[in-house]
């Protein structure tokens, strides 16, 4: 941590503890937390305006949260550990008033750990059903299926949410509040709906065609990946990364492998680095291709899907020849990659690079310039830069709002610092900008690939790693640029063969959370435009 | 040239009344039953053809092959699909208005079937040709929206209700454009009678002789007609990515099939009326001065002319659907009320001037 920040915090919060590291950590008690958070966010020297994630923790003697913060102006990182020592009634003050996205992040922590956030306007469960007994991420959670049997009847629904408030004497009281007004006309969009791109549900209050409020209801494909990982060895956790955002399988694998390699002190070969970056960028093109196709289809232009799938098919064929799979690749492994490149890899990729520019030109010709498409997308769902940071909307959607949030540029990992490419930034912040950013990013990815494809170094594709991999006690947090935004992995180890806690910070959760904010006052059809342009993937947010 | 009215006259007088000694009323009743059966057959055949045709066309746009397994070139695919729809269960729903729910698909199909009555299939091949033919056509095609509104409302589903209301707003608005562009051409022809309109295009089709106002009217008619049939880019009432299936979400089996059929038949009717008003109906292509060419053109049977022209126009409408993204409801309405309607009114005046000062060919 920079010395100036350290001194300032030591002066203002004498009880806070420091721990230096990759990302410095401040440990603070709950009573000081909200004041510290305000200082971190509003102090002009610190300006930590981007809440990357909140990691809920159960350290057995106490519950707590680890907040990861980033300053978008100075690109400095900091983490804050807040303890909630009362195991019976764990409580932490909410920071939802400082970072808007905290409303959702805190709900997730509440859902998993039962930590109540005082002041959060919406303290419901996020993923699990409202009648779920117990909090599954607590270390003393009873997994007995008889406690939470598979329900044979429809899940109970509630139109109420809890709000915990604290009076001046420190007494916390619970209050019930309505999610919708009694006379609202609420339309259920999802969970089975063609435009939600998976099983996501928007409870939408409408006035005619105009949207008044949206309650995002998730958890339909919550699989408890993080919890499962706590019982598996490190190599076994890898394959779950294919099953989050299945279009960013390679970058996600890359992230987890990097985190584990960093923790275990494994140095991987240059060849493996190049292969990983190549795969990341190929999957970025494939992902954006699919985005363009499905987005146009959401807007009613069905034909575009087939044009974009042609390119995506070609990439999947390349992947299949090397990885042996078209969807769940499971290619990156600890120490490098699973197997060497296919002998035709270079030839195939060059063929792809040759057809890609012509295809992008065709997409623009068919769709981008179309007057109906322009009317549907321009000025719709405008997200300002401040709001994008407030809601942690990263990736192409954040960059469309003018926020330079590409992790490949801000915190270059692997070999990205040696590569030449531009970070695509637009300032309109509307659906059209989000669409165009992705269109242009495909060209930049192609540029990266063309720099690497002729110089893939010789060497081993996977270094030797111990058969039984144990990480030293400690914690690590790494982010990569997934196809949809900043993807982070937090690992806390107690020295065993499996993680004590593995937290996934997905980019799609903020993307879904911001929908309510930017659709208010728009039309129902705009919900489809906006949702499509944000391009969330449901398994990624649900995990 | 072959005139079908002679055929029907001889069927009426020579066969039914003279050979079978039917009284007049029985002969007419028999003919009506015959025509009804033929109409139903034609209706379903055309719908089947259109389903196949659209699938093939859209496959071509999308670099696919389209249906190619059932029958030669997949011709029997839509027959198989229709058979499947016929044998599907009609799911009865709780909490719906049963009577209106069942009535709606019939209203929709009735509207398009009535419109068939005045379409000029060929020389003398028209079910009824009376002096207010075009007026009748516009009147009956408006019944369809009633069916859609009923379907959406009686389903007791929020999606269908939104779909139906969208549909109501859309149809009522675009009926204006259709009506005005048709009126423009009626003004040009000087008659509401279908036969008369076709007769007036004996030498040159209206699209060529009517100057700029005819072309403007055609373009507006095509846009409004696409909207009338609820097809892309105006398919908001059933926008699948927004409202799952809009007003017919809750329908199943043959009731759904009726909506499906009516959609394709409306496509044919819109194309058929465009053919009638702008491309000479069943009239063969005639170029003044090219005597030999004109005579050869007359050797192609007139029903083929009519159907071929209608299919070419419906091809254009299908082309729209598979190219353009969908409009939003407010954009759709502002397109009609702010652009098409004023242009249309201006065009009507222009056409009146053309007729008065005889600027046409």
Instruction: Please tell me the predicted confidence (pLDDT) of residue A332.
Output: 86
Instruction: Please tell me the predicted confidence (pLDDT) of residue B360.
Output: 67
| B69/B127 same-domain check | no
Instruction: Please tell me the predicted confidence (pLDDT) of residue A160.
Output: 83
* Lowest model confidence (mean pLDDT) among A171-180, A182-191, B3-12, B119-128: B3-12
| Number of other CB atoms surrounding residue B299 within 10 Å | 9
Instruction: Please tell me the predicted confidence (pLDDT) of residue B361.
Output: 65
Q: Does B326 lie at the interface with A, CB-CB under 8 angstroms?
A: yes
The distance of A195 to chain B (nearest Cα, Å) reads 5
Q: Does B338 lie at the interface with A, CB-CB under 8 angstroms?
A: no
Residue with tokens 């126009």: B313
Q: Is A326 helix (H, G, I), strand (E, B) or coil?
A: coil
Positive or negative, the CA dihedral A294, A297, A299, A301 is positive
Contact B241 A298 (CB under 8 A): yes
Which residues in chain A have Cβ-Cβ distances shorter than 8 Å to B244? 193-194
Contact A301 B241 (CB under 8 A): no
- Alpha-carbon span B164 to B225, nearest angstrom: 18
| B249/B216 same-domain check | yes
Provide the b/e sequence for A27-65 (b: ≥16 CB within 10 Å).
bbebebbbebbebbbeeeebbbbbbbbbbbbbeeeebbb
Residue A240 is given by DSSP the state G
Contact B325 A300 (CB under 8 A): yes
CA distances from B188 to A225, B206, B216, B354, B358 (A): 72, 8, 13, 8, 10
Q: How many domains does chain B have?
A: 2
- Alpha-carbon span A487 to B181, nearest angstrom: 57
Residues of chain A with CATH 3.30.460.80: 3-178
Report the CATH fold assignment for A3-178: Beta Polymerase; domain 2 (3.30.460)
Instruction: Please tell me the predicted confidence (pLDDT) of residue B238.
Output: 67
Question: Nearest-CA residue of chain A relative to B160?
Answer: A187
The distance of A370 to chain B (nearest Cα, Å) reads 8
The distance of A306 to chain B (nearest Cα, Å) reads 6
* A394-A400-A402-A407 Cα dihedral, nearest 10 degrees: 40
| B124/B79 same-domain check | no
Instruction: Please tell me the predicted confidence (pLDDT) of residue A343.
Output: 85
Question: Confidence class of residue B253 from pLDDT cuts 50, 70 and 90?
Answer: confident
Lookup: tokens for A536: 């969330």
Is the pLDDT reported for residue B244 higher than 80?
no
Contact A376 B331 (CB under 8 A): yes
pLDDT digits (tens, 9 = 90+) for B269-287: 889 889 888 888 787 877 7
Average pLDDT in the A15-25 region?
A: 77
pLDDT digits (tens, 9 = 90+) for B92-117: 788 888 888 888 888 888 888 888 88
Nearest to B325 among A296, A310, A523 (CB): A296
Instruction: Please tell me the predicted confidence (pLDDT) of residue B1.
Output: 54
| B164/B285 same-domain check | yes
Is the pLDDT reported for residue A477 higher than 70?
yes
Which residues in chain B have Cβ-Cβ distances shorter than 8 Å to A193? 244
The distance of A510 to chain B (nearest Cα, Å) reads 22
pLDDT digits (tens, 9 = 90+) for A443-462: 899 989 988 888 888 888 88
pLDDT digits (tens, 9 = 90+) for A67-98: 988 888 888 888 888 888 777 888 888 888 88
| B124/B73 same-domain check | no
Instruction: Please tell me the predicted confidence (pLDDT) of residue B294.
Output: 77
Of B28, B54, B87, which residue sits at a domain end?
B87
| B206/B77 same-domain check | no
Average pLDDT in the B224-239 region?
A: 78
Question: Confidence class of residue A139 from pLDDT cuts 50, 70 and 90?
Answer: confident
- Alpha-carbon span A347 to A342, nearest angstrom: 10
- Alpha-carbon span B53 to B70, nearest angstrom: 14
Question: Nearest-CA residue of chain A relative to B235?
Answer: A300
Report phi then psi at A78, rounded to 5: -155, 155
Is the pLDDT reported for residue B9 higher than 60?
yes
Contact A525 B239 (CB under 8 A): yes
Nearest to A372 among B58, B61, B325 (CB): B325
Instruction: Please tell me the predicted confidence (pLDDT) of residue A325.
Output: 86
**Nearest C-alpha neighbor of B1 from the set B309, B281, B303:** B303
| B58/B194 same-domain check | no
Is the pLDDT reported for residue B241 higher than 70?
no
Percent helix / strand / coil, chain A, rounded to 5:
40, 20, 40
Of B67, B87, B107, which residue sits at a domain end?
B87
Q: Does B327 lie at the interface with A, CB-CB under 8 angstroms?
A: yes
Contact A301 B323 (CB under 8 A): yes
Contact A209 B330 (CB under 8 A): yes
Nearest to B242 among A188, A303, A528 (CB): A528
Average pLDDT in the A112-125 region?
A: 86
Residues of chain A with CATH 1.10.645.10: 225-534
Contact B242 A302 (CB under 8 A): no
Question: Nearest-CA residue of chain A relative to B321?
Answer: A301
The distance of B151 to chain A (nearest Cα, Å) reads 18
pLDDT digits (tens, 9 = 90+) for A280-327: 999 999 999 988 988 888 888 888 888 888 889 999 999 898 888 888
Average pLDDT in the A234-257 region?
A: 88
The distance of B243 to chain A (nearest Cα, Å) reads 8
| B48/B107 same-domain check | no
| B153/B240 same-domain check | yes
Which residues in chain A have Cβ-Cβ distances shorter than 8 Å to B235? 300
| B167/B78 same-domain check | no
Average pLDDT taken over every residue of chain A: 86
**Rounded to two decimals, what is the model's pTM?**
0.83
Interface pTM, i.e. ipTM: 0.77
| B57/B206 same-domain check | no
Contact A524 B242 (CB under 8 A): yes
**Which residue(s) pair with A332 in the sheet?**
A337
Average pLDDT in the B135-142 region?
A: 85
Report the CATH fold assignment for A225-534: Cytochrome-c3 Hydrogenase; chain B (1.10.645)
Q: Does B84 lie at the interface with A, CB-CB under 8 angstroms?
A: no
The distance of B352 to chain A (nearest Cα, Å) reads 32
Lookup: tokens for B339: 């652009």
**Nearest C-alpha neighbor of B254 from the set B35, B116, B82:** B82
Taking every pair of C-alpha atoms in chain B, what is the biggest distance, in angstroms?
Answer: 68
Q: Does B289 lie at the interface with A, CB-CB under 8 angstroms?
A: no
Contact A376 B326 (CB under 8 A): yes
Contact B61 A523 (CB under 8 A): no
Lookup: tokens for B35: 């025509």
| B12/B52 same-domain check | yes
Question: Nearest-CA residue of chain A relative to B319?
Answer: A303
Partner A, chain B 240-269, Cβ-Cβ below 8 Å: 240-244
Domain that holds residue B257: 92-357
**Percent of residues, chain B, with pLDDT higher than 70:** 96
């Amino acid at each position: 941590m920079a010395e100036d920040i350290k001194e300032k915090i030591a002066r203002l919060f004498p009880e806070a503890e420091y721990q230096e590291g990759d990302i410095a950590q401040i440990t603070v008690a709950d009573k000081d937390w909200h004041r510290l958070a305000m200082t971190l966010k509003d102090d002009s020297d610190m300006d930590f305006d981007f809440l990357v994630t909140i990691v809920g923790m159960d350290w057995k003697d106490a519950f707590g949260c680890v907040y990861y913060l980033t300053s978008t102006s100075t690109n400095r990182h900091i983490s804050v550990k807040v303890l909630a020592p009362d195991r019976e009634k764990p409580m932490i003050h909410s920071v939802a008033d400082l970072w808007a996205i905290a409303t959702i992040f805190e709900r997730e922590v509440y859902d998993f750990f039962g930590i109540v956030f005082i002041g959060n306007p919406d303290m419901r469960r996020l993923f699990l059903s409202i009648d779920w007994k117990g909090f599954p991420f607590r270390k003393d959670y009873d997994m007995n299926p008889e406690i939470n049997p598979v329900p044979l009847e429809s899940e109970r629904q509630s139109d109420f949410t809890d709000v915990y408030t604290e009076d001046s004497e420190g007494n916390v009281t619970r209050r019930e509040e309505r999610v919708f007004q009694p006379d609202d006309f609420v339309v259920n969009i999802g969970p089975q709906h063609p435009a939600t791109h998976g099983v996501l549900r928007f409870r939408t209050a409408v006035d005619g065609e105009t949207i008044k409020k949206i309650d995002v209801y998730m958890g339909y494909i919550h699989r408890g990946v993080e919890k499962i990982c706590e019982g598996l060895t490190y190599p076994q956790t890898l394959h779950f990364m294919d099953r989050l955002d299945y279009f960013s399988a390679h970058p996600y694998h890359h992230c987890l492998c990097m985190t584990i390699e960093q923790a275990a002190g494994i140095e991987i070969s240059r060849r493996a680095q190049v292969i990983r970056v190549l795969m990341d960028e190929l999957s970025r093109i494939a992902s954006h291709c699919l985005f363009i196709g499905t987005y146009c289809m959401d807007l009613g232009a069905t034909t575009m899907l087939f044009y974009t799938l042609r390119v995506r098919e070609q990439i999947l064929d390349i992947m299949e020849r090397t990885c042996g799979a078209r969807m769940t690749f499971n290619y990156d492994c600890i120490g490098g990659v699973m197997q060497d490149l296919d002998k035709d890899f270079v030839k195939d990729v060059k063929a792809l690079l040759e057809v890609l520019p012509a295809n992008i030109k065709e997409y623009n010709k068919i769709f981008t310039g179309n007057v109906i498409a322009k009317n549907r997308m321009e000025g719709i769902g405008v997200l300002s830069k401040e709001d994008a940071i407030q809601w942690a909307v990263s990736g192409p959607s954040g960059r469309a709002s003018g926020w330079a949030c590409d992790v490949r540029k801000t915190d270059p990992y692997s070999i990205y610092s040696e590569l030449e490419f531009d970070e695509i930034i637009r300032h309109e912040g509307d659906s059209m900008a989000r669409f165009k950013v992705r269109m242009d990013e495909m060209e930049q990815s192609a540029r990266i690939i063309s720099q690497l494809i002729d110089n893939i170094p010789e060497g081993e594709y996977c270094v030797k790693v111990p058969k039984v991999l144990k990480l030293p006690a400690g914690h690590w947090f790494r982010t990569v640029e997934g196809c949809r935004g900043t993807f982070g992995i937090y690992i806390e180890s107690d020295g065993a063969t499996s993680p004590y806690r593995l937290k996934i910070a997905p980019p799609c959760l903020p993307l879904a959370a911001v929908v309510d904010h930017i659709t208010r006052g728009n039309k129902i059809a705009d919900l489809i435009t906006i949702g499509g342009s944000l391009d969330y993937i449901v398994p990624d947010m649900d995990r | 040239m072959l005139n079908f009215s002679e055929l029907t006259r001889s069927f009426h007088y020579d066969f039914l009344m003279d050979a079978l000694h039917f009284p007049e009323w029985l002969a007419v009743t028999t003919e009506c039953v015959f025509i009804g059966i033929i109409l139903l057959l034609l209706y379903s055949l055309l719908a089947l053809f259109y389903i196949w045709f659209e699938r093939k066309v859209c496959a071509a746009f999308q670099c696919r092959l389209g249906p190619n397994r059932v029958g030669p070139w997949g011709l029997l695919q839509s027959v198989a699909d229709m058979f499947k729809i016929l044998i599907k269960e009609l799911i009865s729903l709780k909490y719906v208005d049963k009577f209106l729910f069942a009535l709606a698909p019939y209203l929709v199909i009735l509207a398009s079937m009535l419109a068939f009555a005045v379409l000029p299939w060929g020389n003398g091949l028209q079910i009824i040709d009376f002096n207010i033919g075009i007026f009748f056509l516009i009147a009956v095609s408006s019944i369809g929206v009633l069916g859609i509104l009923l379907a959406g409302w009686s389903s007791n589903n929020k999606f269908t209700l939104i779909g139906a209301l969208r549909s109501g707003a859309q149809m009522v608005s675009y009926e204006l454009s259709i009506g005005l562009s048709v009126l423009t051409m009626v003004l040009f022809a000087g008659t509401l009678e279908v036969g008369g309109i076709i007769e007036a295009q004996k030498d040159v089709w209206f699209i060529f002789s009517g100057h700029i106002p005819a072309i403007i009217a055609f373009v507006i008619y095509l846009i409004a007609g696409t909207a009338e049939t609820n097809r892309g880019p105006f398919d908001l009432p059933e926008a699948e990515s927004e409202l799952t299936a809009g007003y017919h979400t809750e329908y199943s089996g043959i009731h759904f099939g009726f909506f499906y059929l009516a959609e394709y038949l409306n496509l044919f009717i819109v194309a058929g009326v465009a053919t009638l008003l702008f491309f000479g109906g069943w009239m063969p292509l005639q170029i003044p001065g090219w005597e030999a060419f004109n005579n050869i053109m007359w050797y192609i049977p007139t029903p083929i002319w009519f159907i071929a022209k209608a299919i070419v126009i419906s091809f254009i409408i299908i082309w729209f659907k598979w190219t353009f993204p969908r409009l939003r409801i407010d954009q759709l309405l502002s397109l009609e009320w702010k652009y098409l309607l004023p242009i249309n009114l201006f065009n009507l005046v222009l056409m009146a001037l053309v007729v008065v000062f005889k600027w046409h060919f």
